[in-house]
Amino acid sequence: MKMKKITANSMQEATIQIRQQLGKDAVILNSKTVVKRKLFGLKKQQMVEVIAVLDQDFEERAGKGLNPASPLPVLPKKEKLPEEPSFVPKAAKPAPSHTQPLEYVRNERHAGILPDPLIAIDQKLKDQGLDDAIRDECLKGLLTKGAVKEYHIKKELEQLLTDMLPAQTSDEPMISSKYIVLFGSTGAGKTTTIAKLAAKTAIQQQKKIAFITTDTYRIAAIEQLKTYAELLNAPLEVCYSREDFVKAQETFKEYDHIFIDTAGRNFKEEAYIKELTDIIPFDESIQSFLVMSATSKYQDMKAMVKRFEHVPINQFIFTKVDETDTMGTIFQIIADSQIKLGFLTNGQNVPEDILEGSPLELTRMVLQS
């Protein structure tokens, strides 16, 4: 792997230098604006500092046709999601009583005599993957509140869905513990995600960070994390046992946050869960995230949560949300498990493509999809 740090007058100039020195297959891992002093420090000039790499070692993602970082030139920011479409009512129908029980709502839906805007909403939620129970509660809530007109529905539905998710305190930082561990099945994108979290913590919050990996099954995984650690000037310890982990904790006792990567294995194997808990002591000092792909089927997500029921899951991280058109599956698993949403990742760029999740924002993503 070849890495270069380029300082240039503009991003365009930096891109040209990277192509000249590393070739057209080079990728940008990080870029920032820096101030350089000239004329014995009397003159300041803003410049662009770019770290680029000729990617030859990230075998896991290369084998899957995925880029570990943004291609040259840097991709533009994603456009905002479109506004929720309005629902145009057909011929008016008499609205049912707003105080009817849930069974009445189900019968009205099955009989096809709900107001047209509610029929459209019910179909939209169904297309998103939400089950009958959630959709029934939404319809009942809308009818109870008298929200059968188009201009009433959006606000009331947003609130109804948001209230189904576990609440989050706005004043608590998303990364709130000294030790942060990510675990999940193979291919979910744990290593890239942990690099994004670490980079944001180190660069934006100026925290002193370190890495631990227990993924001793793939040499490429260790090398990938080692590359990120070097770029962030952060130490890395590889742990093969609980004793190694305890030693690493002692080594990093003066650090603010230690990010722990784990092996991606078949979650159906009981031995994987045992290996995870044998090495890592899941106590109150550890903040744990179960990482799942947003493209996974609901039943697979449900089975994974069940498999990890003896491992404390503080929050979810869902990756690859840019690769799906439906967010209902994510909503459904959070509503069913009542495990909080931590982060969503929407691309391969480090550290840009990661978002803090919230019940309200997830609800809006479901309604806008």
Residue pointed to by tokens 């008016």: 92
Report field, pTM of the whole predicted structure over 0.75: no
Q: Which of 23-37, 190-204, 236-250 has the lowest mean pLDDT?
A: 23-37
3-state SS, residue 88: coil
Check pLDDT > 80 for residue 18: yes
**Which residue intervals of 94-144 are DSSP H helices?**
102-111, 116-127, 132-144
CA 181/CA 289 separation, integer angstroms: 6
Name the average pLDDT for the chain: 80
Cα–Cα nearest to 163, from 363, 339, 369, 365: 363
In tens, the pLDDT along 161-196 reads: 999 999 887 677 888 899 999 998 888 889 899 999
CA 97/CA 102 separation, integer angstroms: 12
What is the pLDDT confidence band of residue 59, given thresholds at 50, 70 and 90?
Answer: very low
Q: In what order do the strands lie in the sheet with 354-356?
A: 236-238, 209-213, 257-261, 179-184, 286-293, 315-319, 340-345, 354-356
In tens, the pLDDT along 225-263 reads: 899 999 999 999 999 999 999 999 999 999 999 999 998
